[in-house]
Amino acid sequence: MPAPRSSTRPAHRSPTRLAAAAVILAALTTVTAPTATATASPRRDTAPRTPATDATFQHPAYFMPLDNNPQAISDIVADSGEKEFLLAFVLDSGGCTPAWDGDSTHPVAADTQVAAEVNAIRAAGGDVSVSFGGYNGTELGATCGSSTALAAAYQQVVDKYKLTRIDLDWEGDDLDANMAVRWGAIKTLEQDNPGLSVSLTIPMTTVGLPDTGKDEIRQAIADGARIDTVNIMDFDFGLTSGTETEAAETVADDVNTQLQSLYGWDAATAWAHTSIQLMNGHTDQPSELFTQDTFNSLLAFAQSNHVAQLSYWDLNRDRACDPGVPHNWADGACSSVDQDPFDFTKIITKYTG
């Protein structure tokens, strides 16, 4: 099996802040609970809920609220219609301390800036999930030492933002590592937070799940931890032939077969537990390119299979690059393709499950 190709998550470490917006939003220090209720009965089973449909969170866009010149939430909502956000990333800033981007100057415990963004999203009728991990930085599960300590660190974030959803983006050397600690923590978190929805983000290969991703799922099942949605990074595996649309569809089809085998599901149930995550414009692989037409085609594919979610990395890049300024191949703050602002976000917000 080919080695998995993980996303580098463009310009993860190059923050450019909207200072004026931050000053305005910093005054909002208390996170308000989401208006939508998610109060399912406590679950103790190893498999995800069936069916895994969440009608209020079907097309979340990844968004870095502190890095890569983030757009104002008011502009995103008004100009794209997006109200569902996967906020990235919470990491360890040292000593099992959750912090945005792992930055010791932005610990979750003292945060007001991201809290204000969450309030603004919920005031607009939307909601958020928080993503732990990413390709760069130190994931909490690598350093917290025990399932108890890790569960407490995750719980701090859940409590801070009154979360009903979290995303586990364990990439690079965090994938298939410290699994007993990580899944033990998730089992505790699920027991202590009935109704909490958990997605696991996994990098893809040209034949679907890497062996490391299968190991994660098997360990979760063995440890009694529930994965509600398997979020496949349907990019960065390298296009070797055909079109980007065909390649992404083939990988998703392969994952569907693999999930049927791992969980004993039928195809429809496996799709209902799958989130397809795309990447707009240039990806980290020079052979790959996702245009607006690609997104539209994959929107139709997702709709026809009734997947749990259609997502993408990331909203910060949903704008054209300034031609007068040098940019990376897969720039963190623009798509490197010809587009109008929020073209890609407007496409995924059409997904209805």
In a domain? residue 37: no
Residue 187, domain CATH: 3.20.20.80
Percent of the chain, pLDDT > 70? 85
User: Could you tell me the two tokens for 32?
Assistant: 């308000």
CA 3 – CA 207 distance, rounded (Å): 10
Statement: residue 70 has pLDDT above 80? yes
Question: pTM for the complete prediction?
Answer: 0.88
Across the range 108-132, mean pLDDT stands at 98
In a domain? residue 117: yes
In a domain? residue 31: no
Q: Report the mean per-residue pLDDT for the chain.
A: 88
pLDDT (0 to 100) of residue 24: 35
CA 131 – CA 169 distance, rounded (Å): 6
CA 148 – CA 307 distance, rounded (Å): 33
Amino acid present at 203: P
Our CA angle for 341, 70, 343, nearest 5°, is 20
Across the range 115-120, mean pLDDT stands at 98
In a domain? residue 13: no
Q: Band the pLDDT of 14: cuts 50, 70, 90.
A: very low
How many structural domains is the chain composed of?
Answer: 1
Active-site positions read 171
Asked if 125 and 35 count as a contact pair (C-beta separation under 8 A), the reply is yes
Question: Could you tell me the residue range of the domain that residue 90 belongs to?
Answer: 58-348
Secondary structure element (H or E) that encloses residue 3, with its range: none
In a domain? residue 43: no
pLDDT (0 to 100) of residue 54: 67
